[in-house]
Amino acid sequence: MASTRERVLGKLRCTAHAASEFLYGMTTYDWVRDMRRERGEVEKLFILVTFGGIVGLPILPPYYTLRLLPYVVPVVNRWKRSLLRERDLTDLVGMIEGVT
């Protein structure tokens, strides 16, 4: 009996958790994405200014680049891919939700 009750409670908890995630996805997830995207764009710009030499745009003197190197090495490949990835208008589709 106890294990059946626990199973049912467990299922109810899972369902409630799934429903709350679904509601989050429909409501504030967009806000979080937009804010994360803005932060990501600012970080990209910062890395471009400090490490632009990697993509052929030496902006800052190497002194600052070397000081920041240990912090940026883990993300540099990801940053290059994000900065140099080919984009077209369909990348902007995320701006519009709930069209049809």
Partner 1 sequence: MNSIVVLILGALAVAVGYGLYARYINRNIVQPDPTKATPAKMYMDGVDFSPASRNVLFGYQFKSIAALGPITGPIIAVQWGWLPALAWVILGTFFIGWVQDYGAMIMGVRREGDTMGALSYKLISPRARNILMIFLYFYLLLIMGAFGNAVGKVLMTNPKVPFGMIAVVLMGVLAGQMTYKWKADIILTTIVTVVLTFGGIWLGTQDFVSDIFSALLGGPDSPTLWGDITQAHVVGTLLVIAFCYLGSVLPIWSFAQPVNYVSFWIVSLGVLGGIVGLLIWRPGMGDFPPFTQFTTASGPLWPMLFITIACGAVSGWHSLVSSSGTARQLEKETDALPVGGGAMFMEMAFAVIAFLTATVAFGGLQGYQDAGGAGAALGVFSKGLANFLSYIGIPTDFGVAYGSVFLTIMALTIMQLVVRFMRVASAELVGNAVPVMKNVHVGTIVALALTLVFVWIIPWLTIWSAFGAANQLMAGLALLLISLWLKEEGKKNSWALIPAAFMIVTTLAALIYLAYTNFAKLATPDITTQATIASILVGVIAVVLILAAALLIFDGIKALLKPGKEPAPEAA
- Binding-site ranges for partner 1 (CB under 8 A): 17-19, 21-31, 33-37, 39-41, 43-44, 78-79, 81-82, 86-100
Q: 2 vs 95, which CB is nearer to partner 1?
A: 95
Closest distance to partner 1 from the beta carbon of 47 (Å): 11
By C-beta, is 2 or 96 nearer to partner 1?
A: 96
Q: Please say which residue, 14 or 62, places its beta carbon nearer to partner 1.
A: 14
CA 49, chain centre distance (Å): 20
Q: Cα–Cα distances in Å, from 20 out to 24, 25, 73?
A: 6, 9, 37
Q: How far is the CB of 26 from partner 1 (least distance, A)?
A: 4
Alpha helix (H) ranges present in the chain? 2-26, 29-51, 62-72, 76-84
77 neighbors 54 (Cβ within 8 angstroms): no
Q: Which is nearer to partner 1, 13 or 67 (CB)?
A: 13
Whether the CB-CB separation of 37 and 25 falls below 8 Å is answered with: no
Least CB distance to partner 1 at residue 15 (A)? 10
